[in-house]
């Protein structure tokens, strides 16, 4: 099968094959790919290759066929019951009834079809919002593109956290490790390099080759694309795998389970009702048809349809609010969140890094102003005098150049002086600061070419690059100040370098803490010169100073934090930044109170030493600082053991395990690495904490809306059953005929319920505690409400029916008409009883919902058409009623609404 892995690269005059690219020298791959490893492809070459090879995509999941959606409308138990009713009617010669039931089947199926079609297409469009970026070299420039546009021959730049988006041969690497478990099943990342391996090397041992669908866990590298789309290894495997059935989310399961239970309950009731009618010597066929029609009326057949529409609309609203839901179960879990673990950078802060301070031996520099000129106060700490020029400051040039060289970001300046950045905001800030002083990375690299890179290591908290500098090699190092200082043997001064003392180290650590306490992100800068490029990059360094960057807090976050407190949700900051920086931001955001402690990651390591004692609990706190990825996992596990429902935000590859472990994983869409996005349930398209809160608000609203329309359907249908059952027990004529029930059910069971499912959020939705995740759609209290409403509706309508029959002496057709109109309108007005108990009677989410008013208008029109169109009224056995009848209808239909509102006013809340 290995010989089938041929990669065809089209050139101007020929097509060449790349067989087993892991075993071919790079120069041959360059020739067969017809590419330039340094400059990349040109626009013309890219256009040609897209036309030749197509876009870099696997086979798309087929859109759900409209005929499948239509067919599914006829496969439910409800439709089966209706079909049986129609067959029995036709069998016993009741042609109008049989035809009417068939029409009801078609109407229900049509409504269901169009609603589900719209919901399915909405869900599909949401999935299409997700895209994966790739960093490439094209036209001799670094660019970020949508990975769908990758073509064979593209030169791709890789960093920790990137997803591998095509099959690639490695050109160069630095500590590059890749998670290939999707292919090999091995959990340990594999180290990668560019050495040749033999033709027969199995996939798991091809250390110079990268596969689409895997991910970079650490390090960095450069690779050339050999295969894209369905020509990749993943593409070939995907052809062998059939699409699996979609798993239902917990909410769907609960609603389906509820529907199935209701069907059996209704069947039992219907059978009892039929037996009672037969015992009382009623017409057998009429009782059978009526019983089946009652079953249809009692079961909320619009439930799955309305649920799909409600979920689709809710998810669309979330996407509009910059929260993209990737996994449907997350919608239900959102309403149960009790604890949010949030990162600091970009979530609570703006993620717009600017260099604000530079601390050098003997000098303090405060950088102010904008533009590409290094402006600020340059102060000699020893003389406390300002210096007019940066050229007079020793070490400053070295610090700036080191920060620019030890960097993977890119900065471009247009003709108008506008600067655009690509890459990590911290590194971009260093490049911009260097540009302000006249140091361009491209120009520096021409003078000091980069030989290799030691990628950022989260354990060491440092990064290094090695550059050729004449006959020597310059090692540029940046990282956490305490980590950098530990590796330094010397310190730079005006007169040169001298041995760094413990006193020096403590002084610089104090400076670091002072800067961090002002909410600044601080980096230590060091370097060394060596005669070889094979030195340990972190050994025998010379310390030059500190660079402090400002990332201002998001001002709008405070209100979102207040909203979380009102909703019973605790917010906890978990950051890898320094303790003092975390405390400053926590204080600015109102997260931390006076006297509250910030828990340092080092203290958690001490706690972990006591795990053998049987306790793995983490000390509760509102701010955790200097936290490692493993510690994030422990923190989440500890809180989950306490019964907390957790949401975790993250952006890096090291956050992926914690994102999966949390009940809701939330990845940053702008700065987030692809691995983190793939592990998350929700992606924030704007990286804002406010969007997390908005998603929770919508999640709660969606569940509440589903609960409301379920209650509305079941309580209204229960009223119909109780009405007919009461008449049967008392030996009275049937208040509703089968055709009337079918007509009523078709109208009232869909439009108002759908409108309820689309209700907006209530003002009090975030003033209630989180919902128990095990709480059913209908709790015991909600079932009591349903029974109460069912009795109320049936009693009110039965009263009107009985008065029309026994007091006003209406004809049988008029009595049926009074009952039909009474229950029709009472169920319509009953929609307003679905408001929250703590909402205002005249201003709530139901009253403000324009869909509700539209649904009521449509239903009223259809009810009046049934009464006043001669052919339809005679078909439904409806008759003209006098003013007294209309008075009865008005009073009886308003009684459930009035009683419901009074009960709401006296209840203490939902």
Residues with a catalytic annotation lie at 343
Beta-sheet pairing, 15-18 with 472-479:
unpaired
Per-residue HEC secondary structure of 364-427 comes to EEEEECCCCCCEEEEEECCCCEECCCHHHCCCHHHHHHHHHHCCCCEEEECCCCCEEEECCHHH
Beta-sheet pairing, 488-493 with 541-550:
parallel
Sign of CA dihedral 78, 84, 89, 95: positive
From CA 515, how far away is CA 590, in angstroms rounded? 20
> CA 719: distance to chain centroid?
40
User: Any idea which residue has 């030890």 for tokens?
Assistant: 406
User: Any idea which residue has 């009683």 for tokens?
Assistant: 899
Cα separations in angstroms, 602 against 328, 472, 576: 38, 39, 12
From CA 581, how far away is CA 845, in angstroms rounded? 42
At residue 882, φ and ψ (nearest 5 deg) are -75, 180
Q: Is 186 exposed, middle or buried (0-12, 13-18, 19+ CB in 10 A)?
A: exposed
User: Any idea which residue has 């009952």 for tokens?
Assistant: 819
* Angle made by CA atoms 369, 373, 378, in degrees to the nearest 5: 70
Cα separations in angstroms, 186 against 179, 182, 183, 221, 432: 8, 8, 8, 22, 41
| 711 contacts 782 by C-beta, under 8 angstroms | yes
| 339 contacts 572 by C-beta, under 8 angstroms | yes
> CB 141: neighbour CB atoms within 10 A?
12
DSSP structure string for 292-308: HHHHHHHS-TTHHHHHH
| 827 contacts 765 by C-beta, under 8 angstroms | no
From CA 739, how far away is CA 797, in angstroms rounded? 18
> CB 703: neighbour CB atoms within 10 A?
23
CA-nearest of 546, 551, 550, 524 to 463 is 524
Tokens of 755: 């409108």
From CA 353, how far away is CA 374, in angstroms rounded? 16
From CA 910, how far away is CA 894, in angstroms rounded? 23
Give the CA count within 13 Å in the CB-facing half-sphere of 358.
Answer: 31
| DSSP-derived 3-state class of residue 739 | helix
| 714 contacts 721 by C-beta, under 8 angstroms | no
| 429 contacts 551 by C-beta, under 8 angstroms | no
Contacts of 23 (CB under 8 A, 6+ apart): 196, 197, 198, 199, 201
> CA 397: distance to chain centroid?
44
CA-nearest of 521, 549, 427, 539 to 484 is 539
Tokens of 691: 């969007």
> CA 186: distance to chain centroid?
28
| 350 contacts 551 by C-beta, under 8 angstroms | yes
Q: Which helix (H) or strand (E) holds 875?
A: helix 870-875
């Amino acid at each position: 099968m290995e010989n089938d892995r041929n990669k065809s690269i089209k050139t101007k005059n020929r097509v060449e094959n790349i067989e087993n690219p892991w075993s071919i020298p790079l120069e041959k791959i360059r020739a067969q790919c017809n590419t330039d490893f340094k400059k990349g492809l040109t626009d013309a070459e890219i256009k040609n290759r897209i036309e030749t090879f197509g876009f870099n995509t696997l086979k798309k999941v087929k859109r759900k066929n409209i005929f499948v959606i239509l067919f599914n409308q006829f496969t439910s138990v409800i439709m089966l019951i209706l079909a049986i009713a129609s067959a029995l009617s036709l069998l016993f010669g009741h042609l109008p009834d049989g035809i009417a039931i068939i029409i009801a089947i078609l109407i229900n199926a049509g409504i269901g079809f169009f609603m589900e079609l719209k919901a399915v297409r909405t869900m599909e469009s949401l999935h299409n919002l997700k895209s994966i970026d790739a960093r490439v070299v094209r036209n001799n420039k670094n660019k970020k593109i949508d990975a769908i546009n990758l073509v064979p021959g593209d030169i791709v730049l890789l960093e920790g956290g990137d997803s591998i988006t095509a099959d690639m041969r490695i050109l160069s690497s630095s500590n590059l490790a890749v998670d290939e478990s999707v292919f090999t099943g091995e959990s340990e990342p594999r180290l990668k390099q560019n050495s040749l391996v033999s033709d027969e090397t199995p996939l798991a041992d091809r250390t110079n080759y990268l596969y689409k669908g895997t991910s970079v866990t650490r390090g960095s590298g450069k690779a050339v694309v050999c295969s894209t789309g369905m020509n990749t290894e993943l593409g070939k495997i995907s052809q062998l795998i059939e699409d699996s059935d979609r798993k239902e989310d917990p909410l769907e399961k609960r609603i389906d389970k509820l529907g199935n239970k209701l069907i059996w309950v209704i069947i039992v009731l219907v059978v009892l009702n039929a037996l009672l009618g037969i015992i009382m010597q009623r017409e057998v066929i009429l009782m059978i048809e009526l019983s089946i029609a009652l079953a249809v009326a009692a079961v909320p057949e619009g439930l799955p349809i309305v649920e799909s529409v409600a979920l689709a609309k809710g998810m669309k609203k979330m996407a509009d609010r910059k929260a993209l839901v990737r996994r449907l179960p997350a919608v239900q879990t959102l309403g149960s969140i009790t604890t949010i673990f949030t990162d600091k950078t970009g979530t609570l802060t703006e993620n717009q890094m600017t260099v604000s301070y530079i601390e050098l031996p003997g000098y303090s520099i405060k950088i102010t102003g904008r533009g590409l000129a290094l402006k600020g106060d340059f102060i000699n700490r020893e003389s406390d005098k300002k210096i007019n020029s940066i050229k007079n400051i020793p070490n400053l040039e070295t610090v700036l150049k080191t920060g620019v060289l030890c960097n993977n970001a890119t900065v471009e300046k247009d003709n108008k002086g506008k600067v655009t950045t690509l890459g990590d905001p911290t590194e971009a800030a260093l490049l911009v600061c260097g540009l302000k002083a006249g140091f361009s990375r491209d120009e520096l690299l021409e003078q000091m070419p980069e030989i290799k890179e030691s990628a950022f290591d989260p354990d060491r908290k440092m990064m290094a690059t090695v550059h050729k500098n004449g006959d020597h090699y310059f090692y540029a190092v940046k990282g956490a100040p305490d980590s950098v200082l530990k590796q330094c043997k010397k310190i730079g001064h005006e007169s040169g370098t001298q041995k760094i003392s413990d006193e020096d180290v403590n002084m610089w650590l104090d400076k670091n803490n002072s800067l961090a306490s002002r909410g600044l992100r601080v980096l230590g800068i060091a370097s060394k010169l060596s005669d070889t490029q094979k030195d340990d990059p972190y050994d025998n360094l010379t310390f030059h100073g500190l660079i402090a960057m400002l990332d201002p807090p998001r001002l709008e976050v405070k209100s979102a934090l207040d909203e979380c407190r009102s909703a019973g949700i605790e917010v906890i900051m978990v950051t890898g930044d320094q303790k003092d920086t975390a405390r400053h931001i926590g204080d600015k955001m109102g997260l931390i109170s006076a006297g509250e402690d910030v828990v340092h990651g080092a203290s958690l390591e001490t706690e972990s030493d006591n795990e053998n004692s049987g306790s793995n609990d983490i000390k509760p706190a509102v701010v955790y600082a200097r936290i490692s990825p493993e510690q994030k996992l422990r923190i989440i596990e500890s809180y989950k053991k306490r019964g907390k429902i957790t949401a975790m935000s993250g952006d890096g590859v090291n956050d992926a395990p914690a994102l999966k472990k949390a009940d809701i994983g939330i990845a940053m869409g702008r700065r987030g690495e692809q691995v983190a996005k793939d592990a998350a349930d929700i992606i924030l398209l704007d990286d804002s904490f406010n969007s997390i809160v908005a998603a929770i608000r919508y999640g709660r609203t969606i569940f509440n809306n589903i609960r409301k329309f379920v209650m509305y359907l079941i309580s209204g249908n229960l009223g119909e059953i109780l009405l007919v059952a009461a008449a049967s027990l008392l030996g009275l004529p049937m208040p509703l005929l089968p055709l009337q029930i079918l007509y009523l059910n078709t109208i009232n069971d869909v439009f108002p319920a759908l409108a309820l499912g689309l209700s907006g959020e209530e003002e009090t939705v975030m003033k209630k505690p989180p919902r128990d995740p095990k709480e059913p759609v209908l709790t015991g209290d909600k079932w009591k409400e349903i029974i109460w409403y069912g009795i109320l509706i049936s009693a009110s309508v039965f009263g009107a029916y009985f008065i029309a029959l026994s007091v006003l002496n209406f004809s049988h057709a008029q009595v049926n008409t009074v009952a039909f109109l009474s229950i029709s309108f009472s169920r319509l007005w009953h929609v307003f009883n679905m408001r929250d108990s703590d909402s205002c009677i005249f201003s709530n989410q139901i009253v403000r919902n324009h869909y509700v008013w539209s649904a009521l208008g449509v239903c009223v029109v259809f009810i009046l058409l049934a009464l006043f169109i001669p052919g339809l009224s005679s078909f439904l056995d409806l008759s003209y009623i006098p003013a007294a009848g209309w008075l009865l209808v008005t009073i009886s239909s308003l009684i459930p609404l009035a009683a419901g509102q009074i009960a709401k006013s006296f209840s203490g809340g939902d």
